[in-house]
Structure 1
């Protein structure tokens, strides 16, 4: 049985400790990146986004419009910076548009 601490901890501290103990950061980052993409890109881009996946430090985004893919490719670094700023840490280092 787990040892109980007598200290009063906030729920956020307990959750952070649980995530770190069970090594769940990578899975949470994958979910948070998807949420950040949909929030930052808006409905115009999200209508053409078919798949989003984070593998290691590379974000793969599949788009159904070649014109939109070309347009977004000009601002890759800005998109990466916006995503990392929204997430509060550097999760994405490379963006691949498919």
Structure 2
């Protein structure tokens, strides 16, 4: 009859245990998904970054080739945001924590 070895800490796989955050980061790096995740984060955070008033006037927002395209329903708001484009760009990249967006285009 074969007996099971009792559990002992020295037999455990403690050295293989990785914090979940590190595991997810490694997974995103391995599959090269971090950039896409950051782009989705920018789009999802648009209202938080710009405020509810701007979000209500935003018709469409998407990212393509590190450029954020924003379609607005208000011409005066578009003009205002074009004038403050560098500040908008800085706020977006600050929210994500890295330079994801290189340019903002208001449509």
TM-score (norm 1): 0.89
Residue in 1 aligned with 2:91? 82
Q: Residue 53 of structure 1 aligns with which residue?
A: 62
The answer as to whether partners of 2:38 and 2:100 remain within 8 angstroms in 1 is yes
Q: In the alignment, which residue of structure 2 is the partner of 1:41?
A: 50
Q: Match of 2:71?
A: 62
Which range moved further: 53-62 or 20-29?
A: 20-29
Separation in structure 1 between the aligned mates of residue 14 and residue 77 of structure 2, nearest angstrom: 53
CA positional deviation for 1:51: 1.0
Taking structure 1 as reference, are residues 79 and 8 closer, same or farther at Cα in structure 2, changes over 3 Å only?
A: same
Does the CA-based 8 Å contact 2:35-2:100 persist in structure 1?
Answer: no
State the TM-score, normalizing by the size of structure 2. 0.82
Q: Which runs of 4+ in 1 moved over 4 A?
A: none
Superposition CA RMSD, Å: 1.6
- Please point out which of 59, 72, 87 is paired with 2:81: 72
**For the residues of structure 2 that align with 1:54 and 1:8, how far apart are their CA atoms?**
36
Quote the offset at 1:6 in angstroms.
4.2
Listed as ranges, the gaps of 5+ residues in structure 2 are 1-12
What SS class does the counterpart of residue 18 from structure 2 fall into? Answer: coil
